[in-house]
Structure 1
Amino acid sequence: MDMALPTTRLTGLADSYPVVAAVSAAISVAIVYFIVLLPLYNILLHPLRKYPGPKLWAASQIPWLRSYTGGLYHVKLRDMHEKYGPVIRVGPNELSFTSPEAWQAIMGHRKSGEVENGKAPFYAVPPLITGLNRTDHSRVRRLMSHGFSSAALRDQEPMIRGYIDLLIQRLHENSQQGRKAVDICAWFNYTTFDIIGDLTFGEPFGCLQQSAMHPWVELVFANVKTSAMRSALARFPVANHLLPFFVTPQLVRKAAEHKELTREKVSKRLTLTDARPDLVHGMTVGKGGLTVSREELNENSEGLIIAGSETTATALSGAIYMLTTHPAILKTLAEEIRSAFTSESEMNSINTAHLPYLQAVLEETLRFFPPAPNALPRITPPEGNLVLGKRVPGNTVLSVPHWAMYHSSSNFSRPDEFIPNRWLDDPQFASDRKECMNVFSFGPRNCIGKNLAYVEMRMFLARVIWNFDIELAAESMDWLQKGRSFSVWAKHPLMVHLTPRPVAV
C-alpha cells in the first residue's frame, strides 16, 4: 500500500499554514481597525470631534447609509437638528447646516482668488455641468443660459401652452366626469417630460400623445432607488468594488440604451436648421467664442431632461395633495383663479404671475415638500475653508438639506403645517426666516431653470383648477406619508377625482 499520499497531503497543509495564518491575521487586524480603532479615532481624535451630533453617526458612515437608503433620512436629519442645533456632525467626515447663513457660507459667490467648496465627487462628475470645475461650469452655464432667458421663455410659451392644452384634454377624456380616479402625478410627469423633450431634443417623448410613459423616461423612475444606493456607496473608499453587486445586467443594458438614445436624439436635433427657441440652440451656436464638446452636449442634454421635468412634476403633485387635504385653502385658490379670468384662453405666464394666493400656495408647497428634499453636498478644498466663522478641515462634506431646513422650528413657525398665508405678510409669521428658502439652490451653481419651472407650475395649476373641481381619492389619503426621499422623491400614484366645471373658453 502506498503511504505517500497522506504524507504529501499533510506536507501541503503544513506548507499552506503560514499563508492561512497570514490571511487570518490580516482579517483580524482589519476587523479590529474598522470596528474598534477607526470609530474610536472618529469620536475622540478626528478634527470634527467637537461638533455636536449623535456619537454613533460620528463613529461610522453606516448609520447614515441605513437611514438614507431607507428613504426617511430627511425626517431623521430634521430630528437630529432639533436636538443638537443648526450645525451637526452626521458622519465621520460630514457636517449638516440648517441656518440660512449657511447658503452663502457654503455655496455663495466667491471673490477672485477665493477657493469654492466644490461639488462632492460622489454626487456629480463631469462633463455634466453639476460636476464641472469653476471655469468649465462658467463656460457651459453661459452657453446654456440663452435657452433660459426671459426672451427665450416668451418664445417658448406657445409650445408650453400647447402641451398644457393636451394635458387638459387628456384629463377630461380620462376622468369620466369625476367618476373615475386618475393618477394626476403620472399626467404631470407625461406633460413635463414632453415639454422638456421638445425644448431639448426638438421633439416630445410622446407621453401625452400615447397616454403612457416613454421607455426612456421609465428608466429614470425605475432607477431612483438604485441610483441612490450607488451614490451612497460611493462615499465609502471600497465602494467601487461593491457597486457591480448592486447593478443588475438588465439595468446596465438599459442604461447603455438610455445613453445611446440620448446621443441619437442630440444628433437628430443638430440636423434641424431653423433657429428654435430651445435649450440646445445656445449651446451649439458658440457665442462669445465659447463652445461645448459633443460629450458635454450629450451629458447635459440628458441632465436637462431629468432636472427639467421630474422636479416640476413632483412640486405640482405635492401642491395637488396639499390642496385636496386642505379644502379651505383649495377653495380660496379656486376663487382667486376663477375670478381673475373670464376665459381659459386669457391665462398666460404673465397674468398668472400676478395671482398672489397662487404664488403663496406654490411657495408653501416648495417649503413643505421640496422636490429635492436632501442636500446637494459640497466638499471643502484640501486646504480647508472658513464656514460661518470656523475653519473646517479639508475634504469635509458640507450639506445644506432642504427638507430639514424648511421644517426646522428655528426657521419657521408651525413648520409642519401647510399655511400659504405665511407668504402673504401675515403678522403671525413675521419671525419666519424666509431667506432660508432656496429650493433651486444658491450661488453661481443654482438651478438655471428656475424661471421656466415657475412658469410651468403657475400655468399648470391655474389651468387644472380652472377646469376641474378636485377631490382626493381614498386610496391616496396617505400619499405623502408613503413617499420616500433620495436625490428625488420615490412617489406613489396620486389618485384624484376630477369633476369638470362648466367654463367659458
Structure 2
Amino acid sequence: MAGPFFQSTPHLPVLSVVLLLILPFAYASSHAFYNIFFHPLRSIPGPLLWRMTKVPYDYYLFTGNLIPKIAELHRQYGPIVRTAPNDLSCTEAEAWEDVFAHHQGKAEWQKNPARQSNPPNGMPNILGADRENHARYRRLLAHAFSEKGLQEQRGTISHYVDLLIDRLRERARRGESTDMVEWYNMTLFDVIGDLAFGASFNSLQDRKQHEWIPAILGNVQSVVVASVFREYGMPWLNRWAVPRRMQQLRVRNFMYAKQKVVERAELGAARGDFWDRILIKSVDDNAGGEGMNQGEMLNNASVLVLGGSETSVTTLSGLTYFLLQNPEKMAMLVKEIRSSFKSDDEIDAFSVARLTYLSGALEETMRLYPPVPFPAARMPSQGEGTMCGLSVPEGVSVQMSQVGIGQRPDYFHLPEQFVPERWLDEPPPEFAGDNRSALQPFVVGTRNASRPRIGIEIRLTDMQCIGRNLAYAEMRLIVAKLLWHFDLEAAAGGVGDAWLQQKAWGLWSKKPLYVRLKDVAS
C-alpha cells in the first residue's frame, strides 16, 4: 500500500526547484538580519542597506562614484560610518596614528588582502609587498628620493620644466587654448622617465602624450573594478564584468613596463638614474637577494612611473582650477613669485621652497582635491584593533576618506573655500584653529620615513610617501615657472564648477582643463 510519501514523489522536482530559489534568499536574509542586529559593528551608523549588504558599496565603487558618496555619508552620519557589513570609513585625525602608524610591540594593520591584486606575473610591487620585501625595495630606491638625490636631479627636472614653458609659449603665441592636464601629464611623465630609466618618453619633444600614460591609468581602473568580484571569491567573472578597454590597457601597461626595463638593463649601471642601484644589486636575476628579479623590476617600474607622475599631475591640475576660480588668490600667488626672483635663472627646484604662499596653495589644493582620495583600506592583523577608542574586530576594513577629512567644518574653517592662507606659519586668526595635521595626502603606510613640511607641525613620524620630496620640488618649480612667464585665464567654456565632478577608480579620472596663456614678456 502506498503511503503519503510515495503519493507525493512526483512533486519532488518541483520542490527541489522551489528550495533552490528559496535557500539563497533565506541565506542572504539571515546574513542581513545578523549584520543589522548581531554584528559587532551594529552600533556604528550608516545607511540601512549599506549595513545589510556590501552591494551598495560595490555599486558605487564599480561605477566610479564611491569617493563623493562616502564624503556625503560622513556629512550625514558623522566621522565614523559603516559603509558595508565589514567596512568602516573614518575622518577622525587620530585614526592616522591608530591605524597607519607603527606601534612598538604591536602588529601593524595590514592592507585588506582581498582587495590587493598582484600584477599579471603574480609578483608583488612595492605597494602590495609584505614588510620584508617592501623594506628591500625601499632600500634600493632610498638614495634616489633623498635630499642628496634631489640635489643631483634638479638639473634634469629644470630641463623638462623649461621645455614645458617653451611648448606653452608656442601655444600662447598662436592664441590657442591648451589643456593643462595633458601638458602636466607630459611633463611629469618625461621627468620620471629620465630620472627612473635614464631616458625621456619624449612627450614634450614630440608634443604628444605617450601611450603608456593612458595604459597606466587604465591598469589602475582595471584593478579597482576587478576587486569587486575578487572579494566575493569570483575572480573569473572579471573576464566579462571588467570593461574590455580596461583589460586591454592593463595588458598594455605590463607590456610597456617590460619593454622599458629591458631597454634600461641594456644600458648598464652607470647612468646616474634610479635604476643604477637596482641593477648593481640584482646581478644574475637577484641571486644575492638584495636587488630585484626580472619580474619584480617589471612591476615596480610601472609603480615608479605612476607614483612619479599621476599624483603630482592631479595636484597641479587642481591648483590651476582653483586659481582660475579664485582670481584674487591667483594674483597673490603671482605677486609672490614675480617679486621673489629677478630672472628666470634664479628659479630652480630649491629656490622655490621659500615660496610660502605657493606651498600653502598646494596644501589647500590637496585638502579640497586629494591626489589619492582613498588610501588602501587597513584591517587588524591579529585579533582586535583599536581606532579612536573603538574596538575594530579582525576582518573589518578601515578606510580613511581624504575628501571627508578635508570637508570637516570642525577641522577647517570655511571648508568649502580655497584659502591658501590657512597653511601659512601665521595664518589669519579665523584659521588659526584649523586641524592641519588631519590632512595627510602622502600617507601610504607604516613603513615609510617622513620629514615635516615647512611651517606645518606633523604629528606622525613614519608615514609619508618615499616620493614626497620629489613631488613637492617638481610641483613648486612648475607652478613658479608657469606663473613667472604667463598670465592664465580660463578658455571660453573650458573651466566651470563641474570640473571637480569627476569619477574615480582609485585615482581621479580628470577632465580636460582648457586655459589661455599670455606671455608676459611679449
Same fold by TM (over 0.5)?
yes
Q: Does 1:267 align with 2:262?
A: yes
1:486–1:436 Cα change, 3 Å: same
Q: Does 1:494 align with 2:497?
A: no
Query: Aligned partners of 2:9, 2:206: CA distance in 1, in Å?
Result: 69
The residue that corresponds to 1:295 in the other structure is 295
- C-alpha RMSD over aligned residues: 2.3
The residue that corresponds to 2:458 in the other structure is none
Q: Does 1:114 align with 2:111?
A: no
Question: Shift in Å at residue 488 of structure 1?
Answer: 0.7
Contiguous gaps of at least 5 residues in structure 1: 1-13
- Aligned with 1:68 (options 55, 61, 80): 61
Q: Does 1:187 align with 2:183?
A: yes
Q: TM-score scaled by structure 1?
A: 0.90
Q: Would you say the 8 A contact 1:148–1:451 is kept in 2?
A: yes
The residue that corresponds to 1:436 in the other structure is 438
Q: TM-score scaled by structure 2?
A: 0.88
- Aligned with 1:244 (options 239, 242, 246): 239
Query: Aligned partners of 1:248, 1:360: CA distance in 2, in Å?
Result: 39
Q: Would you say the 8 A contact 2:110–2:380 is kept in 1?
A: yes
Aligned length: 486
The residue that corresponds to 1:423 in the other structure is 423
1:355–1:47 Cα change, 3 Å: same
The residue that corresponds to 1:465 in the other structure is 483
Query: Aligned partners of 2:247, 2:321: CA distance in 1, in Å?
Result: 35
Deviates more, 1:308-317 or 1:17-26: 17-26
- Aligned with 2:278 (options 283, 295, 300): 283
Q: Would you say the 8 A contact 2:372–2:506 is kept in 1?
A: yes
Question: Shift in Å at residue 494 of structure 1?
Answer: 0.3
Query: Aligned partners of 1:140, 1:481: CA distance in 2, in Å?
Result: 35
Q: Would you say the 8 A contact 1:147–1:277 is kept in 2?
A: no
Q: Does 1:83 align with 2:59?
A: no
Letter in 1 for 2:138: R
Deviates more, 1:441-450 or 1:16-25: 16-25
Letter in 1 for 2:351: N
1:119–1:222 Cα change, 3 Å: closer
- Aligned with 1:213 (options 199, 209, 213): 209
The residue that corresponds to 2:146 in the other structure is 149
The residue that corresponds to 2:407 in the other structure is 407
TM-superposition CA deviations, 1:443-491 (whole Å, max 9, x none): 3244210000000000000011011000012322235333223311111
SS, match of residue 131 in structure 1: coil
Q: Would you say the 8 A contact 1:379–1:396 is kept in 2?
A: yes
TM-superposition CA deviations, 1:207-251 (whole Å, max 9, x none): 11221122222223445644432233433x244132111235565
Identity among equivalent positions (%) equals 34
Query: Aligned partners of 1:108, 1:16: CA distance in 2, in Å?
Result: 65
1:183–1:69 Cα change, 3 Å: same
SS, match of residue 260 in structure 2: helix
Query: Aligned partners of 2:75, 2:248: CA distance in 1, in Å?
Result: 44
Q: Would you say the 8 A contact 1:197–1:205 is kept in 2?
A: yes
Q: Would you say the 8 A contact 2:380–2:396 is kept in 1?
A: yes
Q: Would you say the 8 A contact 1:143–1:283 is kept in 2?
A: yes
Query: Aligned partners of 1:130, 1:108: CA distance in 2, in Å?
Result: 16
Query: Aligned partners of 1:418, 1:29: CA distance in 2, in Å?
Result: 54
Q: Would you say the 8 A contact 2:222–2:250 is kept in 1?
A: no
Deviates more, 1:406-415 or 1:461-470: 406-415
Contiguous gaps of at least 5 residues in structure 2: 1-7, 283-287, 449-463
The residue that corresponds to 2:285 in the other structure is none
Q: Would you say the 8 A contact 2:253–2:302 is kept in 1?
A: no
Deviates more, 1:477-486 or 1:182-191: 477-486
Greater RCO, 1 or 2 (C-alpha within 8 Å, sep 6+):
1
SS, match of residue 488 in structure 2: strand
The residue that corresponds to 1:231 in the other structure is 227
Query: Aligned partners of 1:94, 1:304: CA distance in 2, in Å?
Result: 30
Question: Shift in Å at residue 253 of structure 1?
Answer: 4.5
- Aligned with 1:480 (options 495, 499, 506): 499
Superposition pairs of residues 18-417 of structure 1, within 5 angstroms? 21-34=15-28, 36-111=29-104, 113-121=105-113, 122-125=115-118, 127-176=124-173, 179-222=175-218, 225-235=221-231, 237-247=232-242, 251-273=246-268, 275-286=270-281, 290-417=290-417
Q: Would you say the 8 A contact 1:104–1:443 is kept in 2?
A: no
SS, match of residue 365 in structure 1: helix
1:342–1:17 Cα change, 3 Å: farther
Deviates more, 1:478-487 or 1:83-92: 478-487
Query: Aligned partners of 1:31, 1:382: CA distance in 2, in Å?
Result: 33
Letter in 2 for 1:404: G
Q: Would you say the 8 A contact 2:81–2:88 is kept in 1?
A: yes
SS, match of residue 448 in structure 1: coil
Letter in 1 for 2:264: R
1:250–1:387 Cα change, 3 Å: closer
